[in-house]
Structure formats: C-alpha cells, structure tokens
Amino acid sequence: MKTVILDAGHGKKDSGAVGVTKKFEKDFNLSMVLKVNELLKKNPEINVILTRSTDVFVELVDRAKIANKAGADVFLSIHANAGEPPAKGSETLYTKDMDKPFATIIHKYLMSVTGLADRKCRYQNLSVCRNTTMPAALIEPGFLTNQAEEELLFNEEFQNRLAVAMAQGICEYLGVKYGVRTTPAGTYPVDVLLNDVPYEGLLIEGKSWVPAKLILNALGARWSYALRSIYVGDTKVDTKNYDGTSYIKGTDLRDLGIVRGVFLDPDAINTKRVLIYPKESVTNE
C-alpha cells in the first residue's frame, strides 16, 4: 500500500492568487485535489490523504506534518501562479534532492495536458517540500493573472484532463498501474487471459477468480446459475457475486476438467495475470 498526500494550496482567509476575473487560486487548487483523489482512491494499492478537503486554512508547516506523520510515500501540492503580465506558462517546483525524480515525472504529465509555455521543472525553496521527509513536488499549471490561462484553469474539462494526468504521474512514480477499474474491498484486479482475450478477474486471498459467465461461455461449457451459485453441469461451484458479476475460482475450471491448466503468470509486472489453457477442442452442446 502506498500513501499519497494531495495538498490543495491556500484556503479560507488565504485566497492565494486572484485571477483577472477575480477567481481565487484556493478554489482551483481544491477542485483539482478532489478530482485527483476521486481517481486515485479507486486504486486498491493507494491510500490518499488530503491536507484539506474543504475551504479551510491550514498552516504550511502543518501540511508537511500531516504527510510526515502518515509516513507518506509521495506529496503533491497543487497551486496556480500569479505574476506581472505577460507572465504565462506551466512549471513544476521541487526543493530536496529526493524530490527531483518525482517532480520530473509530474512535469512531463503536466506539460502533456496544459500545452502552455514550458517554465520547466526547477528548484525553489518551498516550505512544503523542505519540511516533508518524502519526495514532494508543487505544480503551477498556469497564471491566473493571464486571462486566457485563468479561463483554461477554471474549465471543467481541462481540470478533468489535468486530474487524470496527475493521477497517472503519481502512479508512474510509485510503480503502480493506473486504472479506473474499481474492485470490492479486499480484492485486487487481475487480467485473465483465455485464447489471447483479456477478461477482468479478481485476486482474493491469493486465489484467482474469473468472471464465470464470460469464461464458461468462451469455453463452451454447460452451466447454469441458481440461488447465487454457478453450476457447471450438475456440480455446484464456489461462487462470489460482486456488482452483478459472478466469479468462480480459476482452479475449479481445471479440477472440473474444463481446461488443461490455469496459471498465475510469474512474469507479470504490474497487474497479475492469470493464463487459462483450454483443451485442444471444445465440444459445444
């Protein structure tokens, strides 16, 4: 489990930068952090902590303390810039040496979305980066003092795309697969491969469970569903039901003689893979 701290800059009495049309930086920062949180919290390998989730004021040193106390793996602070016109563009800031690899990845994702002038990923002495004990970075995606950039920063669709990019950057740095797939508590996503077609399975207590209906149909097996259980032929099989999908154990397919073998792929890097080896020929009744 990795712990990610998302830090929405400023708050309450501290509005941060004020835009050309009087929009507040604190509102942009909070909106972004809530969006990134929504994306990351779907990942069972990531635990997200927000330094603020509403319009409240949190001291800079307390933001770092929250992260240090949680033993977080990474810290991302979201801000928006202000400067004398015609200041413009996107930048990612870091302070500690250990921040740099994380900030570099974040900046790559930031630039891929904003398309604004590249102010680079660079050093600045920042309280939240200086006082945190884990890799930290602070993004300034654009200038609220620039009318075109202010409009872009408060565009809902732009914010959604930037949120996805930040979630992807965090996942890349942590070596965690980014995906929006939700799985029930205590289960982990697993790709089930049958005849080169991927299906979405679950890993529960180290055992792989495959989507019964799709896999049994693909194998041409005779099956039925009654009283929340899958029957293969006349045999009742251990069944788990989540969100309208019934799952059965991969190993049961082998034990029932429906397939030749079921293996957890030892070479899978991110999401684990389950390989199902069907029999040479399948007789469909």
Residues that bind Zn ion (CB under 5 A): 9, 16, 79
Q: Which two tokens stand for residue 246?
A: 């019934």
CA-based radius of gyration for the chain: 24
Q: Choose between 144 and 203: whose C-beta lies nearer to Zn ion.
A: 144
Q: Choose between 82 and 256: whose C-beta lies nearer to Zn ion.
A: 82
Packing angle of the helix pair 156-174, 100-114 (nearest 10 deg): 150
Min CB(181)–Zn ion separation in Å = 34
Please state, as a whole number, how many other Cβ atoms lie within 10 Å of the Cβ of residue 65. Answer: 15
Min CB(17)–Zn ion separation in Å = 6
Q: Choose between 137 and 216: whose C-beta lies nearer to Zn ion.
A: 137
Q: Choose between 29 and 271: whose C-beta lies nearer to Zn ion.
A: 29
CA separation (Å) from 32 to 12, 46, 49, 141, 230? Answer: 16, 18, 14, 11, 44
Min CB(96)–Zn ion separation in Å = 19
Cα end-to-end span (Å), the chain? 46
C-alpha 195/C-alpha 214 separation (Å) is 13
Task: Please give the residue whose beta carbon sits closest to Zn ion in the complex.
Answer: 79
Min CB(110)–Zn ion separation in Å = 15
Place of tokens 């002495």: 125
